Homo-oligomer: A and B are copies of this chain.
Amino acid sequence: MLKPLVVIALGGNAMIKGKQRGTVEEQIENITETAIQIMKVIPKYRVVITHGNGPQVGNIMLQMEAGSHPPINRPVLPMDVCGAMTQGQIGYMIQNILGNLLLEGPPSRTNPEEKIKVSTIVTQVVVSKDDPAFQNPTKPVGPFYSKEQADSIQSEHPDFTIIEDAGRGYRRVVPSPNPIEIYEKDQVNTLLEAGFIVVASGGGGIPIVKNEDGIVQGVEAVIDKDYAGERLAVDVNAEIFAILTDTDRVYLNFNTPEAKGIDSITSSEVESYLKDGTFGTSLKGSMGPKLKAALRFLKDGGKKVIITSPDLAAEALEGKAGTTITP
């Protein structure tokens, strides 16, 4: 019988922590730590990995901007292409590091003489060109600018939306549309069926829109990594969606004296807590989208969502740590 399939979504801190710049040494160290935790999951589960790319894509955008003026004068590439570059970068590191750990790991499902291998699939994710996000860009990308810098960038790129970010300066924002379909889902499923671990849809996937003839085209947008991970989990028929982040579990009344960690909760409880504000400030940052991604997955037929930190992932899958959300 096949082991249950879990899609693991790695947060940014699995690769670049806090104030790190993202040197290769830092990324290798962090990914190694995370991969050691994923190794504990592999004996009991088949695994698909997806990951964020915020700091990496931010670095590429800054470097392209820095190299765009004479005498260097290299082209600035659009966000879809930058996202694809981070899929190569991060996918390579995960596949290299986890691949090395797997040399000592369980045998492959299809050939007991062989070890499980890892593959990264460059992944496009379809969004709707009618998604309201395109009328209302909200996702900040790249650095903070002074008013002067912001004006200069705005005149250079009239199509950019630049907003003031509460006292911290000006920032470009891009649309964050909903993922509809993992365009390479057949490729991912083929590799999964053959027993590989697959890294897919990194950075929320490369956002593309589809016209009525099916032609797809990249767009300047950023898809939320947990929403894309949810779509991936549905498209590969995963039983479990594991969101790994920088907290051991979800909290009620986070950051208050009444803070209370949640071990286990149902969809409808999450919905009512979301409505009445019981999650408090824990919804700031990325916990809101994580909980909404969890609800979507359970609505789409998923059996279980866990939200925890990488070091507790294996225990959380056994119900011994983290927050477990069920339908």
Contact = CB atoms under 8 A, between A and B. Distances in A.
Contact of A122 (B88, B208, B214): B88
Contacts of A190: 190-191, 194, 196
Interface size class of A (residues with CB under 8 A): 35 or more
A180 interface: no
Interface in A73-98: 73-75, 77-78, 80-81, 84-89, 91-93, 95-96
B191 A196 contact: no
A75 B27 CA distance: 11
Nearest to A206: B92
Contacts of A213: 103
A120 interface: yes
Interface string A98-123: 01100100000000000001011110
Contacts of A92: 80-81, 84, 87, 122, 124, 206, 218
A94 to B, nearest CB: 9
Contact of A75 (B23, B73, B91, B187): B23
Interface of A: 21-24, 59-60, 62-67, 72-75, 77-78, 80-81, 84-89, 91-93, 95-96, 99-100, 103, 117, 119-122, 124, 183-184, 186-187, 190-191, 194, 196, 199, 206, 208, 213-218
28 contacts: A22-B74, A23-B77, A24-B77, A24-B81, A60-B63, A60-B85, A64-B67, A65-B67, A66-B67, A66-B72, A66-B74, A77-B89, A80-B92, A81-B89, A84-B89, A84-B91, A85-B88, A87-B88, A88-B88, A88-B122, A92-B122, A96-B124, A100-B214, A103-B214, A103-B215, A119-B121, A120-B121, A190-B196
